[in-house]
Structure 1
Amino acid sequence: MARVAREKSNSGIHHIMIRGINKQPILEDREDNQKLLEILKQCKAISEYNIYAYCFLGNHVHLLLKERKEGLEQIFKRIGARYVYYFNQKYKRSGHLFQDRFKSEPVEDDGYLITVLKYIHNNPVKAGLVKSAKEYPWSSYHEYINSNNLIDVDLVLGMMNKEQFIDIHNQPSSEAVLDLKEDHFRMTDAEAEMVIKEIGGAERISTCLNLPMEKRNELIKELRGRGLSIRQISRVTGIGKGIIERV
């Protein structure tokens, strides 16, 4: 069956979603996130695209991007080739990393651009990783508040000031955007640790083993409710699988 042609954007702006093949993680740790940021900067200098937002999650990435010198296919072929080479070398693997074709949708007006921007920055909140967009380290949210050299902030900050930018991210939104509706979000261990620290109020994961039984069980229930598997909770916290299964 022939592929459906990618919908063009008259503005040149697209909301892009890239995910791992078979839903596998494509960003395992801090180094991977930093490497992908570095590659985006390198490729931006070559392809001359504008980036208005990004968010990196374990098995997928969201970008709000404007194509200029090159089209999307060429842009993401370059980005993908560089990141896959790095990832395969680091983890001693071979073959494909990304799903064959990235998803995209056109962004044709300022109102929808702000909707998508807000959606991207709040993706970690939706996934249960953090309580607010400002808490998540691997999105462009903070680059709108502080100086940066990757995000092109002028378009958005020409529509609102920084206080308004912060405020819109705290407002609920019901408008649908490009999403992973058919997928179950899976956290990496690094993301799971972030959630555990937030819920348990602990600086070190090892303290989970010494929690009072009632508090430990509350933590386990909360983690299960956020989609973590018994195996992953045990692996990250050190709590035995048998204990987790009985809660």
Structure 2
Amino acid sequence: MTNYRRDLTPGACWFFTLALANRKSSLLIEHIEALRTAFRKVQRRHPWRVDAIVILPNHLHALCTLPAGDADYALRWRQIKGQFSRTIPQGEPVSLSRHLKNERGIWQRRYWEHRIRDANDLARHLDYIHFNPCKHGLVTRAADWPWSSFHHYVRLGLLPADWAGGTAAPARHP
């Protein structure tokens, strides 16, 4: 088995991408309440701050900050994925290796993580998260995608409601 080297800086802010195994699926938005419940349950046991998030039909992006001294984001994602998967009726195709490990075939096994390095890196990843539904052609305005922290940023006055109002990539917010 490949041994991935992961950055485990305690208390850091991270950008994550998690995807479903079936990239044509829309399970994440079809079962958005189950996903929210999974996040809440794990959050109670293993707190962390979700700074920004967007849920798309077949993947999600999130910016999360771990508590000081804690670097175990893998535990949180494993539990979120497991909680969510247990609520979905079985029936998805499962590879032999997953079958032998008694695993579901809902999520891709791996995920992408990137430790945020500085304020510019944070701003770029916030923009990426909030613009992602537009990038994928799901909406033409960021404000039209309901499953995004974009709306929270607007309520806080950190982004204007018309940010990313067209199809071009938006200018960075302050």
Q: Is the 8 A contact 1:43 1:75 kept in 2?
A: yes
Q: Is the 8 A contact 2:9 2:71 kept in 1?
A: no
Q: Post-superposition shift, 1:64?
A: 0.7
Q: Post-superposition shift, 1:173?
A: 5.7
Aligned to 1:143: 152
The answer on 1:83 being equivalent to 2:92 is no
Q: Post-superposition shift, 1:52?
A: 0.7
Q: Distance in 2 between matches of 1:22 and 1:92?
A: 12
Q: Distance in 1 between matches of 2:146 and 2:122?
A: 22
CA RMSD, aligned part only? 2.7
Q: Is the 8 A contact 2:11 2:71 kept in 1?
A: no
Q: Post-superposition shift, 1:96?
A: 2.3
| Equivalent position SS for 1:166 | coil
| Equivalent position SS for 2:27 | coil
Aligned to 1:213: none
The answer on 1:33 being equivalent to 2:42 is no
Q: Is the 8 A contact 1:15 1:63 kept in 2?
A: yes
Q: Is the 8 A contact 1:11 1:107 kept in 2?
A: no
| Equivalent position SS for 2:160 | helix
Number of aligned residues: 157
Q: TM-score, normalised by structure 2?
A: 0.77
The answer on 1:123 being equivalent to 2:132 is yes
Amino acid at match of 2:72: G
Q: Distance in 1 between matches of 2:72 and 2:170?
A: 30
Structure (1 or 2) with the larger CA radius of gyration: 1
Aligned to 2:65: 66
Q: Distance in 2 between matches of 1:60 and 1:106?
A: 19
Gaps in structure 1 of 5+ consecutive residues: 147-156, 176-247
Structure with larger RCO (C-alpha < 8 A, sep 6+): 2
Larger helix share, 1 or 2: 1
Q: Is the 8 A contact 1:9 1:108 kept in 2?
A: no
Q: Post-superposition shift, 1:85?
A: 0.6
Q: Post-superposition shift, 1:169?
A: 3.9
Q: Post-superposition shift, 1:143?
A: 2.0
Q: Post-superposition shift, 1:29?
A: 4.5
Q: Is the 8 A contact 2:22 2:58 kept in 1?
A: no
Q: TM-score, normalised by structure 1?
A: 0.56
Q: Distance in 1 between matches of 2:8 and 2:82?
A: 23
Give the 4+ runs in structure 1 shifted more than 4 A.
91-94
Gaps in structure 2 of 5+ consecutive residues: 95-103
